[in-house]
Amino acid sequence: MLKKFMNRSYVTSTLVLLAVIFLCLNIFMTTAVRDAQIDLTEDRLYTLSDGTRNLLKSIKEPITLKLYYSETEAVDIPQVRVLAERVKDMLGAFSRLSGGMVRVEIIEPEPYTEAEDEAEAVGLTAAPLASGDIVYFGLVGTNTIDGQEIIAFFAPEREARLEYDLASLVDRLNRERAPVLGLLTDLPLSSGPGGMMAAMQGRSQPFVMYEQLLGTFELQELGPDLAWIPEDVDVLMLVHPPALSDTALYAIDQFVMRGGRIIAFLDPFSEMSQISGPGGEGYTFSSAASLGPLLTAWGVDMDGSKIVADRQRALRVGFGANMPPMDYVLWVGFDNRDLDGDDLVTANLNYLQMASVGAFDPLEGATTTFTPLLKSSRDAMLVDFQEAQFQTPPDELLRSFNSTGKAYVIGARVTGRVATAFPDGPPPLDADAVVEETGPLPDLIAETDAANILLVADSDLFNDQFWVQVSDFLGERLVQETSDNGSLVLGAAENMMGSNDLVSLRSRAPVKRDFTRVEDLRREAEARFLPQSQALDEKLDQIVQRVDEIRGTGFGESDDGTLLVTPEQRAELQRLLLEADATRKAQRDIQYELGADIDRLGAWIKFFNIAFVPLLVAVFAIFLAFRRRKQMRVRSIQGGVTHV
């Protein structure tokens, strides 16, 4: 009995000891290694990037981040609750990696409290609930010089961009001054799609790209009548500029000579320019020639009358209600296969969407280094810009497509030694030129060894339709990015200003995952069947035309509505109707064949996803069963027992 009691006591003590060890281990894991995690996402979205770590280590003055989160009210909102935990974890990591220079406070703004008044006063968004309660879930950041930045509300749709949103807020608070970006454009970026008319009526909504530039940099907008680039401008961005006078060109030339950085978006046909521009004039198609002699001085050539048509990268577009979506070779989507993986601006980009792009070529004998950053596929050709201007239908462009096998350069970095485009000195001042009050223009700088110029042969990438979906969220515009156009533009500006820590963060969220094999199958099928489809369309048109001719040469209609024609004409009509039915059937067969290869691929994918693994497990289980039965039989024989 005593032995039994001792055994029970031993078991009980062991269980109690194990429970204590388990509890202590949980407490230790919660406090000591609470941030340990395994990030299995392809883009490592839940692991802080090196750029964020470098930024946090560079902080010199304390930054305070106050998270206002209505935890009690948000208990029944799973999306917000889960996101809030991630925000808290990331803020904690920011604090630790900054060595305590980032101070984090978590505040619950309960109703009718001073905390709620603070949240409302700084402009945080109060999200109403069906119960009548409101939820605050925003961030206020401050520094020691009265700088303040806010995130009004952490929208769940922005979760993939969380690290960038937090890091960029900290970066803005860490700067002594906001970098100055000079912007010269003939596009209505600030007034939006409605142009100047919408602005005058109070209906204007800026393009998202403009808003992001405005929120990231101190934006200094320049006019085409400038005579000198202000000294405080760090980088000059030219976005489809208008025709410029020699005075303005000289100002840009000397900006480069004194070490200024240029980002130029030039376009043989800017579809955005068909919206009225800042001055209300609009309809300026090409900006390829806007920089005149400057491109030549930089060692670059661009034919302003040609557009790159790319069959392999064509976007699928619907032209008209009666036409099925087709590949439109003048609108293109480039992926990381087309981007330079070594340049910081393009290394981490995944997908870009553009329209009616041009091409750059390096000039022979140039003193600069021409480095392509973005190329078309080799299934491309050059077409006249009128094909875009007059909206040639996609099927016509495909039928006349004749690939050159050349990959055209759409984006490039130009570096090295550049001589001035004005060796004889400054041109006479243009009558309308805006001259600084400080006196005459400085003396000519004839050469620089440190030119750094980014060129992109498109401006339509600024258009919202090519890179964002905009919706309303609690009275504010919620932006969801569908391509990396914004990452390219803002990342290029940050890179040219010497701030590279945020460049890689802009493109960390997955934007577009193409089924490349499916796309290749679809394009191959369309290329194979397009001539047959065209021939059938022409045949059907001829049949309809002949039927109309017979109707026109008949003798009218009888009282019961029957067409009065000769017996020969009636026989021909019957033959034509049968032929039309056969033609339409052949068209349907072609449409079916277009999707047959894709359907077969889909069936195989479903098989592997649904049936293959279970079948594999079943086969393995049967194999193990047979193997085990065989081993048991061998043991039985070895033991002297034979089973019949």
The whole-number pLDDT of residue 438 equals: 43
Residue 551: is its pLDDT beyond 80?
Answer: no
Give the least confident one: 259-263, 364-368, 590-594.
590-594
Confidence of residue 543 (pLDDT cuts 50, 70, 90): confident
Annotated domain spans of the chain? 1-34, 50-156, 180-514, 519-638
**Residue 513 token pair:** 């995952």
Phi, psi of 142 (to 5 degrees): -135, 155
Question: For residue 372, what pLDDT band results from cuts at 50, 70 and 90?
Answer: very high
CA neighbor of 421 nearest in space, from 380, 451, 399, 391: 451
Residue 635: per-residue pLDDT: 67
pLDDT at 6: 56
| Residue range 132-146, pLDDT digits in tens | 889 999 999 999 888
What are the C-alpha distances in Å from 159 to residues 55, 85, 345, 508? Answer: 20, 12, 23, 11
262 pLDDT above the threshold of 70: yes
H or E segment at 596? Answer: helix 567-606
Q: Quick one: pLDDT at residue 353?
A: 96
Quick one: pLDDT at residue 460? 95
The identity of residue 34, as a single letter, is: R
pLDDT higher for 612 or 397? 397
Cα angle value 411/262/256 (rounded, 5°) = 130
pLDDT at 600 over 70: no
Q: Say if residue 314 is exposed, middle or buried (CB neighbours under 10 Å; 0-12, 13-18, 19+).
A: buried
Counting residues of the chain whose pLDDT is more than 70, the rounded percentage is: 74
The dihedral sign for the CA sequence 632, 636, 638, 643: negative
Is the predicted pLDDT of residue 8 greater than 70, yes or no? Answer: no
Chain mean pLDDT for the chain: 81
Q: Tell me, what's the pLDDT at 43?
A: 55
Asked if pLDDT for residue 245 goes beyond 80, the answer is: yes
pLDDT tens for each residue of 386-402: 898 888 888 889 889 99
Higher pLDDT, 353 or 321: 353
Going by C-alpha positions, the residue among 358, 329, 335 that lies closest to residue 511 is 335
Structure confidence at residue 644 (pLDDT): 42
Residues 6+ apart with CB under 8 A from 120: 126
Lowest-confidence pick of 14-23, 141-150, 354-363: 14-23
Cα–Cα–Cα angle for 478, 483, 484, rounded to 5 degrees: 100
What CA–CA distances, in Å, run from 485 to 316, 408, 425, 511, 541? 18, 19, 38, 11, 43
Question: Domain 50-156 carries which CATH code?
Answer: 3.40.30.10
- Give residue 579's pLDDT band: very low, low, confident or very high (50, 70, 90): confident
pLDDT at 640: 59
Query: How sure is the predictor about 435, in pLDDT bands with cuts at 50, 70 and 90?
Result: low
Strand partners for 128: 134
Supply the pLDDT for residue 596. Answer: 63
pLDDT value of position 158? 79
pLDDT band for 512, please (50, 70, 90 cuts): low
In sequence order, the β-bridge partners of residue 37 are none
Q: What percent of the chain has pLDDT over 90?
A: 37
| Lookup: tokens for 363 | 């000039």
How is residue 85 written in tokens? Answer: 């935990």
